[in-house]
Chains A and B, each alone.
Chain A
Amino acid sequence: MYRSISGAVSGAMPKALRQILRTPMTMIGIVLVLAHVIVALCAPWVIPYGPSQLAGMPFEPPGDRFLLGTDVLGRDYLSRLLMGGRITMTVALVGVLIAIVAGAFLGLCAAWFGGLADEIIMRLVDTKVAIPSILLVGVLIPGFGQSVGVLIFVIALVYVAGVIRTVRAQALTILPQSFVAAAVLRGESSLSIMLREFLPNVADLLCVEFAIRMSSAILLVSSLSFLGLGISPPTPDWGLMVSEGVGFIHTDPWLVIYPSIALCTLVVGLNLATEGVANALGLDAARGMVKG
């Protein structure tokens, strides 16, 4: 399966790649995302202090010992800032991957089997869409307890419905094609038809879905942390850092501004990169966004 996807992409790649390289906004997005990923990966080896280490006095100003000063408890702010994206990005990544895999499977099932299976899957999707995400989260997280595992589950649940809808819609355009009829006449199993005939044709769509949901999920995790429903202290996390710093916004505004800049550059970078890549692949990135 993997071989066919990469093969197909390599066939279409030169033109798409050229378009990506030619679009400055897309390149800015890609550079921003790469920078964040590199920082997140390297952070543990470059930070001067442990992120939870009480290294100095509270609210020390930026200086030689603490490049960005210290926070409310006297922890090195730079170290916390560099470490602050890791958990959010991991939670968003795993949650969205689960949503993509499950959504692709259920979406293809709904389109391929049709009838009752389609009805059941799509009515469940409708139900999910009818409940505001924040309400769902507000019930699930206190209910199941506040842990990374629950957070990942919640992220997957929030995003799976949109993926199902998009994949099903795309699969329905593949359904009437003769190559599907040819596979039926060969006696291929349903699973084999979904994997061989449908999946390669929704693969590029899934890539774009993944990127869109990623930026949205990072924002969601950060918002939850800010509200105290996400990542728990003392873990360094941007959302949490904003929430900790918000009480001192008049005296030490940088405690809020630095993590906000970090979060913004990541999300904006992801959006720019996604839109550029989707355009180059001939897909509509905005379509997925609306369904959130």
Chain B
Amino acid sequence: MLLETTDLRIGYGDGEGAMKLAVDGVSLSLDTGQTLGIAGESGCGKSTLARALMAYTRPGSRITGGQVRIDGQDILALPEAGRRAIRGRRIAMVPQNPLSSLTFHMTIGAQIDEILRRHEGLSKAAARARSIELLAATAMPDPAAVHRRYPHELSGGQRQRVVIAAALACRPDILVLDEPTTALDKTTELKVLKLVSDLRDRFGTALIYISHDLNVIARVCERICVMRDGKVVETGATRATFAAPRDAYTRMLLRAVPRTTDPSPVRPGPTPGDTQPVLRVENLNYRYAAGGLALPFLPRRKGVLAVRDLSFDIHAGRTLGLVGESGSGKSTVAAVISGLLPPGGGIVRFCGTPLRAAASRRSADLRRRIQMVFQDPLSSLNPRLSVGRILMRPLRIFFGMNPIEARAEAGRLLERFEMPVAMLDRFPRQLSGGQQQRVALARAFAARPDLIICDEVTSALDVSVQDHVLDLLLSMQAETGTACLFISHDLGVIKRVADHVIVLQNGEVRDAGPTDAVFAAPRHPYTRLLLEAARSVIDTPLSPTPAPEPAPHTDAAPGTNRGDRHA
């Protein structure tokens, strides 16, 4: 067996002597040329496990038991010098964030050359030739030029290629990839995944691929092992496991993955055109000014036309999905409508009245009727204010409630978002990511808005949590008839919540229409590319009669028929 762990335990101290186990008795094995996916949600111990495979633990944690054997040799028993000899040559790692794993003051070439000269003892010229070769092997365009560049001059996908090239420098037998594509756009992810598969075929490197994304693992790995709370709950061939998961947790994870093939919500009500839309955007253009008003919340790209000729309507109770990758201009649209940015060219009408000014110049009523929910739930809640004070603020500002009324109403909101009233006195850091985002949603709905703008609201969440948050959003929307502009890079999520969709690329509309129609027959090649990247490969061989499993929460919104979804 090339790599084998037996009963591996890794604990971390909480500073008071007691150890908590982050990895609890994990045994797994990997043979030459095999691929193993390790799946699990945040905090399940998968990254700690990955580091331990290289006989490394983060400060504060240590390996408390078990073995990691490479070709039968227990590397945990080796002295530090022996471990160093193994790292890079036998087993190498590609970490999650490519920018933080490259030194920013050295050229790409210098960083790869250094590995080759140190580990392989190559001469300067030979190292340079080899590293250009390696860069070329990662399908990097113009590898000789990249060799001379600095990390900040490369795109995210290129950086990740560089890190992969560096990991492959000493021809390791095993490559451990820890969420290597999580920070990348979906289309870039697809390219990197293809590269990883190609390299495996070419060099015969065994792969351990760690990801929270089951879809990604399904694309790359023959075998999968699902982790939860430091333990392996299920392991087996990927296809078979996805077709017939044995463990309830695996089933729950699989069911929670939003798919582009799911039915999009069907909403009752007047057909668009009969009534006045809540929001009508006509020929919106936005160019980031060179200089001008400084708004600290948004990236400033000087003089760039971020949005070009965008037009759409959103009717009450409906959801428009805005899809695009980073830099597509989708967040700019949200900022203009919400009033974080002053309007550029074009007309934005809200219930018939043109929106002209930035938020501070709008009437209080207008501010109340347009609410926004942000991407990172922790950043959107003031860490020093209790949940109660966070929720009471809009109630007091917009409805003039006194503290007692506001607190009672805040409690009702919490319950509506399925959290106990006692949570009013908690602080955001004491909440889980999903709870934080539900508080953020509750704060937005506290204003009883006519339009809610959701900017990547579930991107930072685990799939099972995402599922719950989306359920709540959909049911809240059905209850209040609020129109929603839902921005996401995830087509599966868009399919789940949006009845209409617009695909943006570089600020321009590539595709638009009812979600079902656009997804079924994309007109633009870019849409087809996005759909291909998002296509769920885990469904293809699913068994026809999946065992129905009770959902952890049962408030399925009208229009989202859970029974029809693949389980």
Contact = CB atoms under 8 A, between A and B. Distances in A.
Interface of A: 4-5, 7-8, 11, 114-115, 175-182, 184-188, 196-197, 200-201, 203
Contact of A114 (B296, B340, B380, B398): B296
Contact of A187 (B359, B374, B385): B359
B375 interface: yes
Contact of A185 (B340, B375, B384, B389): B340
B271 interface: no
Interface string B340-354: 100000000000000
B443 interface: yes
B376 A178 contact: yes
A8 B375 CA distance: 24
A201 B379 CA distance: 13
Nearest to B359: A185
Given A4-B386, A182-B372, A186-B367, A11 B430 contact: yes
Contacts of B376: 178
B384 A203 contact: yes
A190 B383 CA distance: 19
A203 B382 CA distance: 13
A178 B374 contact: yes
The 8 A-B pairs of least Cβ separation, nearest first, read: A200-B384, A178-B380, A178-B374, A181-B297, A179-B382, A8-B384, A175-B296, A178-B379
B335 to A, nearest CB: 9
A11 B427 contact: yes
Nearest to A181: B297
Contact of B372 (A5, A11, A185): A185
A180 B384 contact: no
25 contacts: A4-B389, A7-B386, A175-B296, A176-B297, A177-B380, A178-B374, A178-B375, A178-B376, A178-B379, A179-B379, A179-B381, A181-B297, A181-B372, A184-B340, A184-B359, A185-B339, A185-B372, A186-B393, A187-B360, A187-B367, A196-B382, A196-B385, A196-B393, A197-B382, A203-B384
Nearest to B425: A7
B338 interface: yes
Most chain A Cβ neighbours within 10 Å, of B296, B382, B398 = B382
Interface residues of B, number: 33
Nearest to A9: B384
Contacts of B374: 178, 181-182
Interface in B369-404: 370-372, 374-376, 379-386, 389, 393-394, 397-398
Contact of B385 (A4, A180, A185): A4
A182 to B, nearest CB: 6
A187 B294 contact: no
Contacts of A114: 294, 296
A113 B317 CA distance: 38
A277 to B, nearest CB: 17
A176 B296 contact: yes
Contacts of A185: 338-340, 359, 367, 370-372
B364 interface: yes
A177 B436 CA distance: 15
Most chain B Cβ neighbours within 10 Å, of A184, A197, A200 = A184
Contacts of A188: 397
A271 B177 CA distance: 47
Contacts of A187: 359-360, 362, 364, 367, 397
Nearest to A174: B382
Contacts of A180: 296-297
B380 A182 contact: yes
Given A178-B297, A184-B359, A201-B384, 20 more contacts: A8-B385, A114-B296, A176-B297, A177-B380, A178-B375, A178-B380, A180-B296, A180-B297, A181-B372, A181-B374, A182-B372, A182-B374, A182-B443, A184-B297, A185-B339, A185-B340, A186-B367, A187-B362, A187-B364, A200-B382
Nearest to B385: A4
A10 to B, nearest CB: 10
Interface in B113-142: none
Nearest to B338: A185
Nearest to A18: B16
Contacts of A4: 384-386, 389
Nearest to B339: A185
Contacts of B297: 175-176, 178, 180-181, 184
Nearest to B376: A178
B400 to A, nearest CB: 14
Contacts of B362: 187
Interface in B266-308: 294, 296-297
A148 B359 CA distance: 48
Nearest to B377: A178
A110 to B, nearest CB: 13
Most chain B Cβ neighbours within 10 Å, of A7, A176, A186 = A186
Contacts of B383: 8, 201
A94 B385 CA distance: 29
A82 B430 CA distance: 47
A186 B367 CA distance: 6
Contacts of A175: 296-297
A36 to B, nearest CB: 31
B342 to A, nearest CB: 12
B142 to A, nearest CB: 35
A148 B297 CA distance: 46
B471 to A, nearest CB: 23
Contacts of B427: 7-8, 11
Contacts of B367: 185-187
Contacts of A176: 296-297
Contacts of B375: 178
Nearest to A204: B384
Interface string B306-345: 0000000000000000000000000000000011100000
Contacts of A8: 383-385, 427
Contacts of A115: 294
B264 to A, nearest CB: 28
Nearest to A175: B296
A179 B443 CA distance: 11
A184 B382 contact: no
Most chain B Cβ neighbours within 10 Å, of A177, A182, A184 = A182
Contacts of B360: 184, 187
Nearest to A11: B427
Nearest to A187: B367
